[in-house]
Amino acid sequence: MGLAASGTVLASNKLLATPAAVKRPPAQLPALVPDDVLLDYQRFLGGRPPAEVTDFGGAHARRDVAEVVLIHQALAQATIASALDMLARPTDARLKLDLRAGLAACTATTYWRGDFAEREPGLLFSLPLVEDGEFEAGLYTVPSNRLALAARSLEDLRRLRLLSNRDWPVDWQTLIQLGLQDRLQHVGNWSLMPRMLQSGRADVLLAPFQPGEGMLLKVDGITLVPVPGLKISMHGTRHYVLSAKHPASAQLAPALDAGLQALRRSGQLKRAYTQSGFFHPAVKDWTRL
């Protein structure tokens, strides 16, 4: 579940050409998504068409899930009739490898621009969904971890054992810049992290704030709670990533940007992130590390 704005993004003002001038994309567009996100997305929809979602809160809602809904809605705004064929991947490393190889047209969730090299000839980046400075993450732990829940400062945090993933460079470097490298452990699979907290092998992990009372995060039957009063500021922009090697990218790229512009103008982007708990008013006055 991963968490520097540089390089070139897609042109923000290029709309689709007339239908007669553009070869239409195929009926199915393969889109890569982490396997845990796909599972929660399917549970969140409960059989509803994603284009009809107006409330992004409730059971199984979170930032990643909201973004899968939003890419469907952006393409619908741009009148792209192609259905997304959601392809699950177990790790971000595998997902990025397959995207670079052109095995899919795009990702269905966003990634930090800083997770990729400044120049990536085989990749394209949508307009940002999350602007620089907007991303705030919580420090999540199990309810029984009294040491973690008592943390109120960076010095307290330096006494805890933290989990992250080297394949999430922005998350990893943020924690190192806070002086936490000696307490930081790499875990390659997101779903393993809550289990490690539950077993007492670590204390906290970074995750976006969740909707609902208590901002509880539930993963595979494990409930995590945020350390009260602390939040981590993450710098950079987040984008959908497209494979320039996929034959549909030439049509998909401008359509996606046009759809995202429409969603931002209508307030749907902000609404989705707020209702999913990502932009959370309850943490407004928490200490920002």
Structural domain boundaries of the chain? 19-132+237-288, 135-234
Quote the pLDDT of residue 212: 81
Residue 264 reports pLDDT greater than 60: yes
Quote the pLDDT of residue 15: 33
Quote the pLDDT of residue 7: 35
**Which pLDDT band, with edges at 50, 70 and 90, does 129 fall under?**
very high
Quote the pLDDT of residue 16: 35
Residue range 267-287, pLDDT digits in tens: 999 999 999 989 998 998 999
* β strands within the chain, DSSP E: 28-34, 83-89, 106-107, 111-112, 123-125, 135-141, 162-164, 184-186, 204-208, 217-219, 222-234, 238-239, 241-243, 287-288
Architecture of domain 135-234: 3-Layer(aba) Sandwich (3.40)
Residue range 60-93, pLDDT digits in tens: 999 999 999 999 999 999 877 668 999 999 998 8
Quote the pLDDT of residue 79: 77
Average predicted confidence (pLDDT) for the chain: 89
Least confident range of 22-26, 197-201, 227-231, 254-258: 22-26
What Cα–Cα distance (Å) separates residue 123 from each residue in 65, 107, 207, 283, 284? 23, 11, 26, 35, 35
Residue 194 reports pLDDT greater than 70: yes
Q: Which residues are CB-neighbours of 72 under 8 A, at least 6 positions away?
A: 50, 51, 84
Quote the pLDDT of residue 78: 84
* β strands within 94-209, DSSP E: 106-107, 111-112, 123-125, 135-141, 162-164, 184-186, 204-208
Residue range 148-188, pLDDT digits in tens: 999 999 999 999 999 999 988 999 999 999 999 999 999 99
Residue 21 reports pLDDT greater than 50: no
**Which pLDDT band, with edges at 50, 70 and 90, does 112 fall under?**
very high
The per-residue b/e assignment along 46-67, b for 16 or more CB within 10 angstroms, e otherwise, is: eeeebeebeebeeeebbbbbbb
Quote the pLDDT of residue 213: 81
Residue 230 reports pLDDT greater than 70: yes
Nearest-angstrom CA–CA distance, 242 and 125: 6
Quote the pLDDT of residue 203: 98
Helix and strand tally (H, E) in the chain? 9, 14
* Domain 19-132+237-288: CATH superfamily, name plus number: Periplasmic binding protein-like II (3.40.190.10)
Residue 122 reports pLDDT greater than 70: yes
**Which pLDDT band, with edges at 50, 70 and 90, does 28 fall under?**
confident
